[in-house]
Every structure is written in C-alpha cells, then in structure tokens.
Amino acid sequence: MPFLVLLIILSLTFYVFYKIKFVRSRLPMEKKYLSGKSGIALGLFVGLFGINQLFLHPSTITYIIGGIFILLGFFSVWAGIKSLRYFKPFAIKELEEINE
C-alpha cells in the first residue's frame, strides 16, 4: 500500500500544481486546457483513494463507498481527457497568435 499512498500524494500534488497554473494564466483556452489536466489529476486522486480504502478497511460499507469513489474518479479522468483533446488545438493556436 505505500505505492498507492505515493501515487495519491503525487496526484494531489499535480492537482495543486495545475490549479496554481490555472489561476496564474490569462489566456482563456489555456485555462480550459489546464482545467482538463487538473480534472485528470483530481480524478486519479479520488480513484486511487477509493482503491486504497478497499485495502485498509475491508467491510461492506467501505466497498460501496470505495466503489463510488473509483467510479467518480474514473468519470473525472474521462472528462478531463475529453477536455484535453478538445481544447489542445485551441490552446496551441492561442499561444501561436500571442508569440507572433
């Protein structure tokens, strides 16, 4: 389980990192792109936390709540990936226009 704890801490760190970049960015498409990245990191955090709880406290309630966390994390990662794919070309175009 130390490996899961390390991944949980790492995903939370990436979430905070991308949220700080989100706040500091002034470009609208870059903000949406960074929001997708932070959504992926938050989804990983929630999902890995749910998996970790399954190993720590084996009971029926924990399995139900852990399953909910895993599903919420999965859907958050899925939505973040869709957001990244959609906004990446717009963010690249926006950065190219600014650098010209």
CA atoms within 13 A on the CB side of 82: 6
Per-residue pLDDT tens, the chain, 100 aa: give them: 789 999 999 999 999 999 999 999 999 999 999 999 999 999 999 999 999 999 898 899 999 999 999 999 999 999 999 999 999 999 999 989 888 7
- Burial zone of 3 (CB within 10 Å; 0-12 exposed, 13-18 middle, 19+ buried): exposed
Domain that holds residue 17: 2-99
Q: How far is CA 6 from the centre of its chain?
A: 16
Q: Read off the pTM.
A: 0.90
Domains: count for the chain = 1
CA-wise closest residue to 63 among 73, 53, 72? 53
* Paired tokens of 89: 């070309």
**Signed CA dihedral, 75, 76, 82, 85: sign only:** negative
